[in-house]
């Protein structure tokens, strides 16, 4: 299971870095070091470490919930993909989500030595929104309120966009990378439409069918 492998790496690497702040500093997302010191590995490595136990548990729960269902029900379904290609697509979805979620912050902060971030939120947003595109009517709990996936997705995108704009136009800061959530989510949507264009038509038909 690719999802379980990613989870194992995230848990082990995060726990290791909890007890070794020097290593955590070495692997977190630091655009200044990527640009000036050519430490390109940070683009990927930061997604496998987390700031604290709550951050780690929340992201692992989200990855397990959405990732396992997506992997087993779609990418490993022989009626949809050749099993080998499905695995490759799933890995590209996850790892590509890491880059997609980080790229805007990289260009914005490549000359800012004070900016850094970490965590798998961007990749998990890609997984989650890919799942929503495939199964928009599935029930998702958002802020402890159950709702259909497409509604939860629209709310999350809207909230992320609002908070991004708020951060840019005021001194507001909550130490959360809303850019990662937003761009990771869009990557997941675009990715699944590219590899399986029929998904978009099916998604629209399912939403229309409600009304």
75-101 pLDDT tens trace: 999 989 887 899 999 999 999 999 999
pLDDT value for 165: 82
Q: Kindly state the tokens that stand for 77.
A: 């379904």
Range of the domain at 108: 2-208
Residue 59 burial by CB count (10 A; 0-12/13-18/19+): exposed, middle or buried? buried
Residue 198 neighbours by CB distance under 10 Å? 8
Q: How many domains does the chain have?
A: 1
Residue 174: which pLDDT band, with cuts at 50, 70 and 90? low
Using only the alpha carbons of the chain, give its radius of gyration: 17
CATH of the domain at 186: 1.20.1540.10
Share of the chain above pLDDT 70, in %: 96
Angle at 178 between CA 174 and CA 183, to 5 degrees: 170
Q: Does the pLDDT of residue 153 top 80, yes or no? A: yes
Residue 144 neighbours by CB distance under 10 Å? 5
Angle at 39 between CA 34 and CA 40, to 5 degrees: 80
Residue 91: which of 165, 1, 8, 175 has the closest Cα? Answer: 1
User: How many Cα atoms occupy the beta-carbon half-sphere of 133 within 13 Å?
Assistant: 24
Q: What is the pLDDT of residues 29-42, one digit of tens each?
A: 999 999 999 999 99
pLDDT value for 173: 63
Q: Does the pLDDT of residue 144 top 80, yes or no? A: no
Residue 123: which of 60, 195, 41 has the closest Cα? Answer: 60
pTM tops 0.95: no
pLDDT value for 42: 95
């Amino acid at each position: 299971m690719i999802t379980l492998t990613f989870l194992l790496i995230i848990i082990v690497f995060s726990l290791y870095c909890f007890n070794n702040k020097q290593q955590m500093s070495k692997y977190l997302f630091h655009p200044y070091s990527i640009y000036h010191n050519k430490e390109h590995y940070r683009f990927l490595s930061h997604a496998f470490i987390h700031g604290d136990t709550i951050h780690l548990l929340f992201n692992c729960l989200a990855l397990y919930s959405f990732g396992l269902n997506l992997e087993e029900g779609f990418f490993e379904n022989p009626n949809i993909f050749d099993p080998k290609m499905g695995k490759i697509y799933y890995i590209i979805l996850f790892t590509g989500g890491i880059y997609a979620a980080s790229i805007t912050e990289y260009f914005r902060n490549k000359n800012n030595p004070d900016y850094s971030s970490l965590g798998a939120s961007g990749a998990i947003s890609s997984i989650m929104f890919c799942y929503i595109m495939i199964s928009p009517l599935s029930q998702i709990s958002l802020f402890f309120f159950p709702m259909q996936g497409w509604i939860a997705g629209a709310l999350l995108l809207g909230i992320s966009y609002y908070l991004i704009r708020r951060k840019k136009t005021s001194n507001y800061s909550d130490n959360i990378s809303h850019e990662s959530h937003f761009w990771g989510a869009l990557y997941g949507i675009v990715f699944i439409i590219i590899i399986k264009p029929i998904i978009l038509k099916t998604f629209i038909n399912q939403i229309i069918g409600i009304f």
